[in-house]
Amino acid sequence: MNEKRTVLITGASRGIGRALAMAFGENGDNVVVNYRRSEQSAQTIVEAIKKAGGDALALKADVSDFDEAKTLVEQTIEHFGSIDVLINNSGITKDTLMLRMKEEDFDDVINVNLKGSWNMIKHVTRPMFKQKSGRIINISSVVGLIGNPGQTNYVASKAAVNGMTKSLAKEYGKKNITVNAIAPGFIETEMTDALSDEIKDAYRAQIPLNRFGKTDDIAKTALFLASKDAGYITGQIISVNGGMV
């Protein structure tokens, strides 16, 4: 097990975020389970982590709001004393073809997926610079690498997160802070449950391993990127997609 760290995970109330929270909690780390609406579910995860021997705290914040993101960081430091790992996992989709996409569909997705990640990184920067260490992991997406019809808003947000990751790795290297992204392929969560069977079959046909990924596939990759063993990895977009790309 690694030294006990404080890990702040945005959007940890379900899906990939829940798997991330449980993996770090079971590793013995202090975990902040951020949520926007699903308070009950976030509290259940906190209890499960405590049962597994870790420590955790649920904190409500909309990461797309600059001030709420700031408060989230401040509350984490107040409670646990530091932030060693930030995982920007919160994400939303508002899929539709360009012809039908409304301006607010674009703005909402960019505000949560891109601006939310930027807000969180902005606010952890000073504390991480001060402690001269840190790990930042952004959850982007395979479609940010290859594009996808019906997702111009989402793909733009995830491609931008990849670019931001590479730029920040160059800025933060001197401060002993690594910045990487994980680009998941099709992972079974509520986000993907919403798709029709027809679309799911079409995705599966593009996956050489011929199955969808599990949330644990992403959690295990994040555990590695946050570990001492990954100390020389920065500015990378790690694909976890069953061979899709």
**Which of 21, 22, 63, 219 is in the footprint of ligand NAP by CB under 6 A?**
63
Cα separation, 82 vs 5, in Å, equals 8
237-240 and 177-184 as β-strands: parallel, antiparallel, unpaired? parallel
* Residue 78 Cα to chain centre, angstroms: 22
Supply angle C-alpha 17, 215, 12, rounded to 5: 10
**Which of 30, 76, 141, 152 is in the footprint of ligand NAP by CB under 6 A?**
141
With the CA atoms of 136, 203, 36 and 30 taken in that order, what torsion angle do they form, in degrees rounded to the nearest 10? -40
**Which of 191, 195, 199, 233 is in the footprint of ligand NAP by CB under 6 A?**
191
Which is closer to ligand NAP, CB of 162 or CB of 189? 189
Q: Does 73 bind ligand NAP (CB under 6 A)?
A: no
Residues near ligand NAP (CB under 6 A), total: 31
Identified catalytic residue from 154, 172, 203, 232: 154
Site for ligand NAP in 78-117 (CB under 6 A): 89-92, 112, 116
Order across the sheet with 237-240: list the strands.
Answer: 55-60, 30-35, 6-9, 85-88, 134-139, 177-184, 237-240
Tell the smallest beta-carbon distance from residue 138 to ligand NAP (Å). 9
Catalytic positions? 154
Which residues would be at the binding site for ligand NAP (CB under 6 A)?
10-17, 34-38, 62-64, 89-92, 112, 116, 139, 141, 184, 186-187, 189-192
